[in-house]
Structure 1
């Protein structure tokens, strides 16, 4: 039966590719696209007139009622006959914005979602060229960050329309997945805990079948994520080693080895929340499924922001199926996909992830804490991942973003902080706090073009543009030293991590 399902899927995929390749000009002139979810009616706006947008497209059933805290369920086959208005974003997945002051909620709010959130959120949004093409185009499948707590497709800084308007040679898809207690419940009685990651996989599978209808090449799809999205991207690499679907991975500022998984093996966090709503014992899950998501989120927001004890955490937990407890050993054993990958981080990744200083206009953050955060959670895991991948024979590239542009980094100490590379790649760096400088624009184009070269040819594309893989001993640095891109020594860059890995008595002063 499994072989028959796979054969049917392959034939469907082949037919969709042949149809899309035979009628590219027709695809570019219409805003109605047939998919397994239904016939979509997209939009073209006046700002980017050469970009078609299909927003809020459902890829799975709404995880409501009995489907709350269950793996994503495919849409019924009769869905393909319905009509869907894809002219606006759906609601983002249930979440709340912390009131604890941070760089993001005080100074760069463009990294937050626009609009309300809801459980009915398993959608993706597609941006594709409006001009005709006689070949199928590479596709970026983007997974947003936000600590597995926040994020969505409607983030202003992560709108790819201007990038596609410029190149007319690729497609970008943003997928939404369940977050916090709804995506990573870690509750007693559930067979699957890492539901947000399963949502991501369901969206990738939907795209494999449907992306050709938009002019995209299902054999040239690259999974790309930032922060928790980068963690998610690498998790998919390990969770589906023999069938990743995608042809490459890009991980901005995190890796599967980043030490951010839950250690709540007693599953006390979910029980604590359930008891607040008088749900316990064998009826805990059915009881909690009857509590409104609004009430659950309101409790989490109030409790978390009060910073009382015990602290609650709803993130991924090792289950040895989707999330693993020892990624180092899995790399040594070659238990991950053979697809090429890019791993990178930002020079000042840690400064926006620690406490905001009392007077951020005149004071910087605690730099010791910022450096520890950068090295322990982001940079050193990226470095060791690249090393293990190379030893396992996987093609790997590394980068560091060093840009410091005042319209993206408005405080004097921010520099290349966590997430600041995203406006450069998406092409939105000049949308807020003043226009981009010419050097900023040039750096943005350089990064965009290298990302696109990787999507077109993950094995050799960026090498043709002078970005060697990690076996060369070099890392590609963007936006620093008045150069859009330059090669820097990996040994010099990695020195702080290598020092941390030495026994204390072997470290030089």
Structure 2
């Protein structure tokens, strides 16, 4: 099995598709980045032009900053590389597909499951060129799945939260994600992907997006399953910015962050009751979501990455554990419990791997995002990505056939990579013991 080096295609109608490795396809009409009069995304204009796509598209404009942290200092494979590969015309998708399936023609074609990937980055950063998030080896090894990575606007461009903007012009990054998913539904069959077997997968901010998507489109979900890895819980100013080049905006944001200026700049989603809702527990209990099967999980030491970086000693472990519970573990516990109460099938996991080539400092262990290289197949053949593929093929029965049962209050979750073991189990009661719903109860993490 191998991936082909290039492909030729048309946006709406496909001519002479010869091969596929990494395919970059626009999903929006022109550069929609920046603060224009109409900043919501629009479908790509139909055209029969042939596009030769041989690499990924640019990340949307963003600022990473230069302050030391785990990802920037010890594991730069978790950030976009090269860091300056950014551009305003960034609303596109990247498709990875096995060559042999693309060579099939006519009745011989087999329509394969599709996994659509949404990157994380606190809605501030992220893009298609993060080395630890490129699924080429995964797709090459299995030969039976497609992976589609979508691009969306981040920071001030995706979540401006400005008073002058109408509610339907907020949370633009979430609207970008929906448009890309609609593109996949309408076009993936041309690659031999199955539009009826699409699984939506996100990590961190991407996982938050997946969960919110679950509530925003209950009547038209497009997808058949959800995967959530480590889901962590003004007017004239926009008119002023409309004429400013995006590069100048990013330069300012970068300098602001590097100088340690306070208050820190954040660009958050707003509650518009369209893409983001005020009370998700009430929505879940009322059944106002898709009830699609889902995988939900987190890392044992997720919070360690969000505290001040000390290369030698690391952060205070009590503080790190408290942040793991409040920011990641307990919100995930609450989401799982809400889904269970609403009779939505959920598969729960905890990741505890400690690999020195991913986390080189002894205090880093299983930090936030550290499970991604194994799932994406960057480090050899591991069982974790086989689970995801089984789920994509059949979200209801795929995992139970491999011995991973759906969540029950007195059941067990899958524990991946902990203490050198590829796979073991952990009782749900133990996993949930530090939490009262979404709130930590003060008990120590039991690992």
Match of 1:494 in 2: 432
Q: Which residue, 409, 423, 428 being the options, matches 1:485?
A: 423
Match of 2:27 in 1: 59
The number of residue pairs the alignment matches comes to: 428
Q: Which residue, 93, 96, 103 being the options, matches 1:124?
A: 93
User: Does the CA-based 8 Å contact 2:115-2:146 persist in structure 1?
Assistant: yes
Between structures 1 and 2, the one with greater helix share: 1
- The question of 1:90 aligning with 2:57 is answered yes
User: Does the CA-based 8 Å contact 1:42-1:54 persist in structure 2?
Assistant: no
Distance 2:299 2:125 in 1: 21
User: Does the CA-based 8 Å contact 1:38-1:82 persist in structure 2?
Assistant: no
User: Does the CA-based 8 Å contact 1:33-1:214 persist in structure 2?
Assistant: no
- The question of 1:394 aligning with 2:344 is answered yes
TM-score with structure 1 length normalisation?
0.80
User: Does the CA-based 8 Å contact 1:144-1:152 persist in structure 2?
Assistant: yes
- The question of 1:33 aligning with 2:2 is answered no
Deviation (angstroms), 1:96: 1.3
Distance 2:202 2:151 in 1: 12
Q: Which residue, 454, 460, 474 being the options, matches 2:391?
A: 454
User: Does the CA-based 8 Å contact 1:40-1:86 persist in structure 2?
Assistant: no
Match of 2:377 in 1: 427
In structure 1, runs of 5+ residues without a counterpart are 1-26, 44-51, 259-266, 272-279, 430-440, 505-509
User: Does the CA-based 8 Å contact 1:36-1:210 persist in structure 2?
Assistant: yes
Q: Which residue, 210, 218, 232 being the options, matches 1:233?
A: 210
Match of 1:354 in 2: 307
- The worse-fitting range, judged by mean Cα deviation, of 62-71 and 363-372 is 62-71
Deviation (angstroms), 1:302: 1.2
Match of 1:16 in 2: none
Match of 1:433 in 2: none
User: Does the CA-based 8 Å contact 1:238-1:337 persist in structure 2?
Assistant: yes
Match of 1:252 in 2: 229
User: Tell me, what secondary structure is at the counterpart of 2:330?
Assistant: helix
- The worse-fitting range, judged by mean Cα deviation, of 105-114 and 28-37 is 28-37
TM-score with structure 2 length normalisation?
0.90
Distance 1:410 1:111 in 2: 14
In structure 2, runs of 5+ residues without a counterpart are 443-447
User: Does the CA-based 8 Å contact 1:397-1:468 persist in structure 2?
Assistant: yes
Distance 1:139 1:127 in 2: 10
User: Does the CA-based 8 Å contact 1:69-1:183 persist in structure 2?
Assistant: no
Q: Deviations over 1:222-262 (max 9, x none)?
A: 0001111111111111111111101000000016xx2xxxx
Deviation (angstroms), 1:112: 1.1
- The question of 1:185 aligning with 2:185 is answered no
Pairwise CA RMSD: 2.3
